[in-house]
Every structure is written in structure tokens, then in C-alpha cells.
Chains A and B, each alone.
Chain A
Amino acid sequence: MEHIRSHLRFYWAIFGALGVFTLITVGVAQIDFGSHANNFAIGLLIATVKAALVALFFMHLWGEKKLIYRILAFTVFFAIGLFALSLLAYFDHTHTF
């Protein structure tokens, strides 16, 4: 019970951090980092940080049981594989940037 009560303020702190990162996302989108790929990478990096905060603390993945981690390892592997293979389309050279 007390374990949960001490967590409540922590949840609101994570909420505050998420709010700050959301504003940073919009602010950073106004800055030119050289190429469009760079802007994309920075935007996605910030989004990943926000997603990690939600997943680890709101979804309680921090300190979850091992079986959940093992299941999600497959998810992470296949999701990253999916995006990596899709990004290979860059080398088809159908773009002109």
C-alpha cells in the first residue's frame, strides 16, 4: 500500500517530464539540423525517449517479470528488423534528395 502511495508523486513527475519533452519536440522541429534525415533522426530520438518513459513507468515495465521481457525481446527484434529493411528502400534511389 505504502509502496504504491510513494509512487503517486513519481507518476506525476514522469507526466511533467513528458510534457517538457513534448514541447521540446515541437521546438526542435523548427531548427534546421542540416539535412532532413538529421531532423527526422532527432525527432524520432525524442519520441523514443518519451515512449520509454511511458513504457517503463506507466506500463510498469521497469521491474516486470522475466517472461514479459522475453516476449518483448521478440517484438523489439522484429520491429527493428521491419524498419531497418524498410529503410533499405533508400538505396533504390527513387528519390532525388
Chain B
Amino acid sequence: MEIPYTVKPRPDTGLNNAKLGIWLFLASEVMLFGGLFAGYVFLRLGAPSGTWPNGLLSVLPGLINTAILILSSVTVVMAWASVKLNDFKKFRIYLGITLVCALAFMGIKAYEYNDKFHHFGAFMKSDTAPAGYDLQITGHILEDHVEIVDGKDIGHFLIAPDKPKKQPWHWWSAEKKYTPEERAARDAFDFNHPGVSKTGEEDHGVPVLKLEKEEIFRHSMFVPRYNSFFAIYFTMTGLHALHVIGGALVLAYFWLPGSKMFFTDRAHFASRIEVAGLFWHFVDLVWIFLFPIMYLM
């Protein structure tokens, strides 16, 4: 016995099963990502002044990814239209471009994530600050000197710090905290802080700094544990990336083995491409909100 209304729409609602099903699913996905966006709102509103990062993410890769996803949205619509217009060749081409866009998006994401995993940040200890630390320095590790004494590592890091404008003391609301003299000293990396010293050498125009491990409150690469911003950034873009992969796998199936249905049952195939396209548009929609929130604000 065949399931009714898989292709033919129900007379009362005007919808077939796939259309109704995908919209119900997308409605639930809105609440999934909505919950995470709400989490972002809480983290951002609760962050003390001067602690929420700004400028840690390079805008260009994010902008290119936005353009790539928007292009893939229009090509998936074109692929569906090609099926409705009985043009198999055009369908293959447009869906192929969509898949290339998906691969390009994941490639750029992989590049961005890799860049973060190799970026270092350290919080230096402070006896007077209530949080236990008062200075944050970011950059790249040049050397990691390990020196174990009594089970503790009392070595040091040699780091090439980020240029002053990218350092935490330039984050937008940190402006209020420093006098012009203090800011000028920080921009020259003259901290007068225990555990932080200049080696006298330079690396790409910035002085190489030596950070004593015993004076470091905590340190890590730019990964979720580093700060709340990276925690929510990796969570949301990671979940979004999983959705990109899932959607791409479905579209890839319809591009290769599943495309046979174009010839055996065209109306059903058109419905399936339409429904897969709807999921793909949703993935694009989430990114349209993620990009400004994470990269620009």
C-alpha cells in the first residue's frame, strides 16, 4: 500500500507530506539555534565592561563565506527550477555549483578554526585584582621553555605578541579604563608587570616578549576554554558547520546516486530537491545572523 500525498498535495491543506514535514522540522531548528542565540545574549549582557572581545575574528573570511552561502542558495533554487523545466544537464550543473560552495565554505571554516587553534593568549597573575589576573596578552608562541622543578613547570614562553590594535586593551569598552599615558605604554608593550619582559628581539615589527609561567594565571590557545566569546563562537559556528555538512551530504546524494529518480519519477524528485533546498536555505539564514553577530559586533 502506498503512502498517500507523498507527491500529490492534500486537497484540504494544499501541501504534500514532504513540504509539511520540512517546515515543521525547520520550525524546530529555529528554536534550536534560537536557544543558542539567547545564550549569546546572556553571555554578552553579563560580561563586565571591557571583557567582551572585538576584532578577534578576521572579517574577510566571514564575508567570503557569507557570499558563498548566498550564492549556493540561489544555485539550489536554480537546480530545483531546472528539474521543473525538465533540464537534467542544468540541474546537474547548478547542484554541482551548490556542492562546490558547500566545500568552499567548510574549507574556509577549517582555515579559520586552524588559525584560532594556533593563536595564544595568557592572563597574568595579580595580587590586587579581584579576579586574580589583570593583564591579558595575545600572540603566537615562538618558543616554549619547559623547566620542571618539584613537579612544577617554572619555565617561560617566548611570544610574538599581536599588534597593539588587536590586543585586549583595545577592546571597545576598555577605552575608558586607561589614561593616554597608560595606553601609550601598553601599545609599546612596556607593562612594568611581574613575569613580563622584552627580550630585545623583534618579530615582524613587534618586540618578542618573555612570559614567566609562574606569573601566568591561565593560558590557552583561542579555543572554547579561553573566554566566553570563543565558547559561544565555536559552539554556534560548529553546530552550523554540522548542518552545512548534513545538508551537503543530502544534496550530494541527489546529485549522484539519487539523481536517477529524475528519470523514473520526476514529480517526486522535484519535491525532494525542493525540500532539501529549503533546509539549505535555512542553513544560509542562520549564517546571515551569525556573521554580523560574531564577526562585526
Identify the A interface with B (CB < 8 A).
1, 4-5, 7-8, 11-12, 14-15, 18-19, 22, 25-26, 29, 36, 39-40, 43-44, 46-47, 50-51, 54-55, 58-59, 65-68, 71-72, 74-75, 78-79, 82-83, 85-87, 89-90, 92, 94-97
Bound: A55/B26 CA distance, A? 12
Closest-by-CB residue of A relative to B86 is A1
Q: Tell me if B239 is interfacial: C-beta within 8 Å of chain A.
A: no
B67 with A19: CB separation less than 8 A: yes
Bound: A11/B293 CA distance, A? 26
Q: Which of chain A's residues have a CB closer than 8 A to the CB of B278?
A: 59
Identify the B interface with A (CB < 8 A).
13-15, 19-20, 23-24, 27, 30-31, 34-35, 37-38, 41-42, 45-49, 59, 63, 66-67, 70-71, 73-74, 77-78, 81, 84-85, 172-173, 277-278, 281-282, 284-285, 288-289, 291-293, 296-297
A54 with B71: CB separation less than 8 A: no
A25 with B84: CB separation less than 8 A: no
A97 with B49: CB separation less than 8 A: yes
Listed from nearest, the 10 A-B pairs whose CB atoms lie closest are A29-B296, A96-B49, A86-B38, A86-B41, A65-B14, A15-B74, A75-B27, A43-B292, A94-B46, A67-B13
Q: A96-B48, A96-B49 are in contact. Are A1 and B84 (CB under 8 A)?
A: yes
Q: Binding site of B, secondary structure by majority: helix, strand, loop or mixed?
A: helix
Bound: A74/B296 CA distance, A? 30
B45 with A95: CB separation less than 8 A: yes
B71 with A83: CB separation less than 8 A: no
Bound: A38/B240 CA distance, A? 27
Q: How many residue-residue contacts, CB under 8 A, span A and B?
A: 134
A83 with B30: CB separation less than 8 A: no
Q: Binding site of A, secondary structure by majority: helix, strand, loop or mixed?
A: helix
A11 with B296: CB separation less than 8 A: no
In the assembled complex, how far is the CB of residue A57 from the closest CB belonging to chain B, in whole angstroms? 9
B13 with A65: CB separation less than 8 A: yes
Q: Which of chain A's residues have a CB closer than 8 A to the CB of B277?
A: 58
Query: A22 touches which one: B27, B30, B70, B84 (CB < 8 A)?
Result: B70
Closest-by-CB residue of B relative to A69 is B23
In the assembled complex, how far is the CB of residue A40 from the closest CB belonging to chain B, in whole angstroms? 6
B66 with A90: CB separation less than 8 A: no
Bound: A55/B286 CA distance, A? 11
In the assembled complex, how far is the CB of residue B293 from the closest CB belonging to chain A, in whole angstroms? 8
In the assembled complex, how far is the CB of residue A53 from the closest CB belonging to chain B, in whole angstroms? 9
Bound: A58/B173 CA distance, A? 39
In the assembled complex, how far is the CB of residue A32 from the closest CB belonging to chain B, in whole angstroms? 10
Q: List 22 A-B contacts (CB under 8 A).
A: A4-B84, A8-B78, A11-B77, A15-B73, A19-B70, A26-B59, A26-B296, A36-B297, A51-B285, A54-B70, A59-B282, A65-B13, A67-B13, A75-B30, A79-B34, A82-B35, A86-B42, A87-B45, A89-B45, A90-B45, A92-B46, A96-B48
